[in-house]
């Protein structure tokens, strides 16, 4: 029986890769209990091909809807209609529309998806790395190269591969785009839940890698004895400690004194009641520009304050 199941899977796999329905039908008739471990792994891969082929067919239908609604009022609301039908966000529906249109342009990528030689994540990786200003000939060559390498690379690896190919295809244009993007560098502070917040920096890649390399080194490759923090926690603490130390000493290493603000030393503002500090109550404190924080966190900050 197991040999029969394996033979069935081999026959299914030999079917035309463009026939998603045939492949799915053959897999549905597979007796999982009689299949060998190897055959089951092959079946998992085959189902992935079915899923990829289904995505390609779905994209075909979306593209037909785009064509039908072109120049009409309904075209403006196509993403909304799809979002409602799929019970998803408008952003996700818009992404599906954009990808469907792109697949209609890049036939090699569409065929690879239809035949299961590439999956949806890899398609997204390829399309994301194609600059809009790339010429048609160069764009086609980059896509063909990506399709040729897709089966041997993970989605992140394929993304980096396409990025490198684009750099080789039009180095001057990439330099112009990089210089333009550099003008958008910034640091942002965003509030999170439970007295947490995000600090994000949009930097040129060399600077970002340098920052992360230093943070990673400060965190250490392994926790000291008795340290129960995970590596992500150690990185976060190491990152924060750099700036907490500067605030504490009012000195920027290699630069000099930390600039003063309105004639006053730069500091984090904390407003907390004396009764909270003494532990009489647990009234929330106010952290400058953030807002309310728990009493315990306020006491910790006050204890560390200089």
Q: pLDDT digit string (tens) for 198-224?
A: 999 999 999 999 999 999 999 886 677
Tell me, what's the pLDDT at 214?
94
How many whole angstroms separate alpha carbon 56 and alpha carbon 114? Answer: 5
pLDDT average, residue stretch 282-286: 81
Does residue 271 sit within a domain? no
Q: Is the pLDDT of residue 10 over 80?
A: no
227, β-bridge pairs: none
Does residue 43 sit within a domain? yes
Q: pLDDT digit string (tens) for 121-139?
A: 999 999 999 988 788 898 9
How many whole angstroms separate alpha carbon 84 and alpha carbon 98? Answer: 17
Does residue 200 sit within a domain? no
Tell me, what's the pLDDT at 11?
54
Whole-structure pTM value = 0.68
How many whole angstroms separate alpha carbon 193 and alpha carbon 200? Answer: 16
Does residue 254 sit within a domain? no
Does residue 8 sit within a domain? yes
291, β-bridge pairs: 287
Does residue 264 sit within a domain? no
Q: Is the pLDDT of residue 19 over 70?
A: no
For 138-195, give the DSSP string.
HHHHHHHHHHHHHTTS-HHHHHHHHHHHHHHH-HHHHHHHHHHHHTT-EEEEEE-STT
Q: pLDDT digit string (tens) for 221-253?
A: 667 778 888 899 999 999 999 998 988 888 888
Does residue 42 sit within a domain? yes
* Cα three-residue angle 200-256-210, rounded to 5 degrees: 35
Q: pLDDT digit string (tens) for 293-303?
A: 788 888 877 77
Does residue 131 sit within a domain? yes
Range(s) of the domain holding residue 146: 2-181
């Amino acid at each position: 029986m197991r040999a029969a199941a394996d033979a069935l899977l081999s026959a299914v796999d030999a079917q035309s890769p463009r026939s998603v329905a045939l492949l799915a039908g053959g897999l549905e008739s597979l007796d999982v209990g009689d299949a060998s471990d190897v055959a089951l792994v092959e079946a998992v891969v085959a189902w992935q091909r079915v899923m990829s082929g289904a995505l390609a067919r779905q994209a075909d239908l979306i593209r037909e809807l785009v064509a039908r609604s072109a120049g009409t009022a309904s075209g403006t609301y196509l993403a909304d209609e799809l979002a409602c039908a799929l019970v998803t966000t408008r952003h996700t529906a818009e992404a599906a529309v954009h990808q469907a249109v792109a697949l209609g342009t890049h036939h090699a990528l569409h065929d690879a998806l239809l035949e299961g030689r590439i999956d949806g994540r890899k398609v997204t990786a390829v399309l994301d790395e194609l600059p809009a200003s790339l010429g048609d000939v160069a764009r086609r060559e980059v896509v063909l190269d990506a399709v040729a390498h897709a089966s041997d690379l993970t989605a992140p690896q394929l993304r980096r591969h396409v990025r490198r190919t684009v750099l080789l295809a039009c180095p001057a244009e990439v330099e112009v785009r990089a210089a333009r993007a550099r003008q958008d560098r910034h640091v942002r502070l965003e509030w999170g839940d439970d007295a947490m917040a995000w600090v994000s920096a949009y930097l040129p890649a060399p600077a970002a890698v340098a920052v992360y390399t230093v943070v990673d080194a400060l965190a250490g490759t392994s926790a000291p004895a008795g340290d129960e923090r995970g590596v992500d926690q150690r990185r976060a603490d190491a990152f924060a400690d750099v700036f907490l130390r500067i605030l504490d000493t009012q000195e920027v290493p290699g630069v000099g004194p930390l600039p003063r603000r309105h004639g006053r030393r730069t500091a984090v503002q904390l407003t907390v009641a004396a009764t909270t500090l003494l532990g009489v109550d647990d009234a929330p404190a106010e952290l400058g520009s953030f807002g309310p924080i728990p009493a315990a966190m306020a006491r910790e900050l006050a204890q560390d304050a200089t």
